[in-house]
Amino acid sequence: MATYDCFLDTHVLSDFLFQFDSSMPNNNLEPRGFLTRKMLQKINPLIEGEGRDGIVITSVFNIVEVLNKIIDIYGDNAEKMIIKLYGFLNQTPEWFLIDDINITTANALIDVPIRNHLGDAISGDDAILIATALMRDNVFFCTFDNRLEGLNIKNVSFIR
C-alpha cells in the first residue's frame, strides 16, 4: 500500500474538528461542509490505519486561524468548539500532526509560486500552509480554495 499524508487547510480543519470525537478516535468522518467525499477517501484510511500508512497534518498556523475565526466558523457552537479544540490539542491522536512553523518552513516558501495558473496571487497565509505541506514526501492538500487548484508543486496534490 502506498503511503501518503493529508494536509488540512483552515476550513477543512474546522469541519474535521467539528466531527472528530476523541472518545472514538478511529471512527470515519462523513462528508460535511468543507470535508468532501474525495478528501475523506484519503483521510479516513489514515485514521483507520492509526498512522501506519500516513498521517493527517495541519499547521500550528492553521490552529491559530481557526481560533481567530472561531465565531465566524462555528457561530453559536464557538464556546463548545474552543473546549473541544483544547481537548484535541491536549490529546492529539498519534495519526495527527500539528506542524510547527520554523526556518525549514521559511526555506520551503521558495518553492511556493506567487501566482496560480490563472495569474491570481497566492496569499501569504496559503503560502505558509503550502510550504508546510512541502516538507512531506507525498501529500494530498485538502482545500476548498479554488485559487490553489491547478498548482503544480512537487510532492503535493491538491484535492477538493
Extract the C-alpha cell encoding 54: 500516513
Read off the CATH number of the domain in which 80 is found: 3.40.50.1010
Tell me which residue range forms the domain holding 70.
5-159
- Structural domain tally of the chain? 1
Instruction: Tell me the β-bridge partners of 99.
Output: 59
> Which pLDDT does position 152 carry in this prediction?
86
Q: What is the pLDDT of residues 16-71, one digit of tens each?
A: 999 998 777 668 899 999 999 999 999 999 999 988 999 999 999 999 999 999 99
Kindly tell me if the per-residue pLDDT of 2 is higher than 80. no
Kindly tell me if the per-residue pLDDT of 136 is higher than 80. yes
